[in-house]
Amino acid sequence: MLLKNKDFISLYEVNAEVLLSIFERIIFFKKRETSEYKGRLSGKNIVNAFFEPSTRTRFSFEIAEKMLGANVINFSSKISSISKGESLSDTVKTLEAIGANLIVVRHPAPGAAKYIADEIDIPVVNAGDGGHEHPTQALLDLFTIYECKGTFKDQKIVIAGDILHSRSTRSTLFAIRSLGGEVVLCGPPTLVPDYYKLLGAEICYDLDEALKSAIAVRTARIQKERFKEFYIQPDEYFKNYRLDNKRISKHKDKLMVMHGAPMRRGEEITSEVADGPNSVIFPQMTNGMFARMALLDLLLRGED
């Protein structure tokens, strides 16, 4: 078994070898024609159990699943028996009993993916569990950097914005550290808590300073829906942390500009930068689909 256990829940203490193997599998798929791999997961039933709204991530998973020939079942909590009072545990056990071979889960509660994974024997992929982690997002971000730079050793990556509420930042931080890279978390102090230092991150409140020796900057979007308004002063925030041409052009030769989408053009990023030569935002999304293909392939087919 390539991965330590049957599931893909968290990148906490993930092995560098595991990440590199996933990258290799991504490259495998990117290099080939669809016809070469379209039956690899045929006959497998994959359930996308999304208890929290999502478009991008769900579409990305769905396309990845269909490209490999799997049967895709989309499950939304609004129409399910959760509304009839069934426990989450019973819901997923039912899916397993009916014949699901793998469940992709997005849920508003931190720890939900682990909870579900412990209740059933089939693999569970975490597509985002509350404010905890978003490991497939981290995979695609990291692969995008890997594809461009070839290595993480001693490379500095800046993540800027609302770090406090960014689950993908947590996953990304774990993975970059395991691959030997450095992470600088940047934002106002109220959104960049000190305890991230305990996870091996550096903290810097000045974005221009942080960008000086960075190979990539990844925006952590302000998640207004997740926090109380008094944590920041919006005008000051955007002045200090917006990715605009003035800020980026100083580093244009080597700095990759990354974003998790959806973008709010004009707010945390300008159109000039989003569509400019440093931006890898759309390639990230393409890599996201391939990364999910690679992951599902590895979980259901192992190392074949």
Partner 1 sequence: MKIIIKGGRVIDPANKIDENLDILIENGKILELSKYINIAEAKHIDASKKIVSPGFIDTDYNFYNLENASIQIIKNESKAALAGGFTSVAIMPDTTPVVDNKKTVMKILEKAEKDSLINLFIIGSITKDLLGQELSFMEELSNVGVLAFSDNKPIENTEILRVAFHYAKRFEKAFLVNCEDTFLIEDSLVNEGYISAVLGLKGRPKIAETIMIYRDILLAIESDVPIHILNATCNYSIEAVRHLKTKYKKLTAGINQDYFTLSEEACLNFNTNAKIQPPLRSKDDVMAVKEGLKNNTIDVISSGHRPKTFEEKNKMFIESEFGNSGIELTLALVITELVKTGYLDISHAISKLTINPANLLKINKGTLNIGTDADIVIFDINEKWFVKESKLFSNYKNTPYIKKKLYGIVEKVIVGGEVFDVEKI
Residues that bind partner 1 (CB under 8 A): 12, 88, 109-112, 114-115, 130-133, 167, 170, 193, 195-196, 198-199
Segment holding 168, helix H or strand E: helix 167-178
Q: What b/e string do you get for 19-57 counting C-beta neighbours within 10 Å, with b at 16 or more?
A: bebbbebbeebbeeeeeebeebbeebbbbbbbbbeeeeb
Q: Nearest approach, Cβ of 77 to partner 1 (angstroms)?
A: 14
Shortest separation between residue 170's beta carbon and partner 1, angstroms: 6
For partner 1, which is the closer residue by CB, 3 or 112? 112
Q: Which is nearer to partner 1, 69 or 131 (CB)?
A: 131
Nearest distance in Å: CB 167, partner 1? 6
Which tokens is 72 given? 């895709």
Closest distance between partner 1 and the C-beta of residue 53, in Å? 19
Measured from the CB atom, the residue of 153 and 224 that comes closer to partner 1 is 224
For the bound state, the minimum distance from the C-beta of residue 42 to partner 1, rounded and expressed in Å, comes to: 34
Q: How many helices (H) and strands (E) does the chain have?
A: 11, 9
- Calpha distance 23→34 (Å, rounded): 18
Spatial separation of the C-alpha atoms in residues 127 and 31, rounded to whole Å? 25
Are residues 44 and 161 in contact, defined by beta-carbon separation less than 8 angstroms? no
Percentages of the chain per state (helix, strand, coil), in multiples of 5 = 45, 15, 35
By C-beta, is 200 or 302 nearer to partner 1?
200
| Minimal distance, residue 235 CB to partner 1, in Å | 26
Q: Which is nearer to partner 1, 176 or 280 (CB)?
A: 176
Of 111 and 283, nearer to partner 1 (C-beta) is 111
Residue 162's nearest CA partner among 103, 208, 213, 225 is 225
* Bridge partners (DSSP) listed for residue 102: 46
The answer to whether 105 touches 120, Cβ cutoff 8 Å, is no
**Shortest spacing between CB 152 and partner 1, in angstroms:** 21
Pick 45 or 169: Cβ nearer partner 1:
169
Q: Are 41 and 301 in contact (CB under 8 A)?
A: yes
